[in-house]
Amino acid sequence: MRIGLGFDVHPLVEGRELILGGIKVPYERGLDGHSDADVLLHALVDALLGAAALGDIGQYFPPQDPQWLGISSLVLLKEVWDKVSRLGYRVGNVDAVLVAERPRLAPYLPAMRENIARVLEVGLEQVGLKATTTEGLGFTGRGEGIAAFVTVLLFLDKEIPRDL
């Protein structure tokens, strides 16, 4: 069994769509970044890579590489999951937290969970996702950006508990 932790943060800016968990969330600003800047999926990619001891997202998708400009982070997640699963790992569970003062994310969480479960080839019950605020404190509280924390539990095929 392996445990991975991922964290990501991006600033909110004018003129960009807000994409979280592969879902377009209606909001007047979006996250700034080289790809679609999906902090949730970037943190998940880092958690998967960390659990498998394969480095971090920047090693595979460097921001200066034009091929990743504007790309959907669902594509990045799929590419990393293919690499991790070829090593014989399967997901036990994902637990994720989005940190944003605005917009209200609760209505979009089910669709985000579905995207993650589909790409990782797991059931919805294996993907936990929550949204919280910082009660007005810090850069997220001031509405300057959004952060995400993700933990993932990986099993080698032979280690998967039968009741999972």
* Known binding residues for a divalent metal cation: 8, 10, 42
Query: 58-64 long-range contacts, Cβ below 8 Å, gap at least 24?
Result: 61/35, 63/33, 63/34, 64/34
Q: Which two tokens stand for residue 1?
A: 């069994």
Give the residue numbers of the binding site: 8-10, 34-35, 42, 56-58, 132-135, 139, 142
Q: Are 135 and 141 in contact (CB under 8 A)?
A: yes
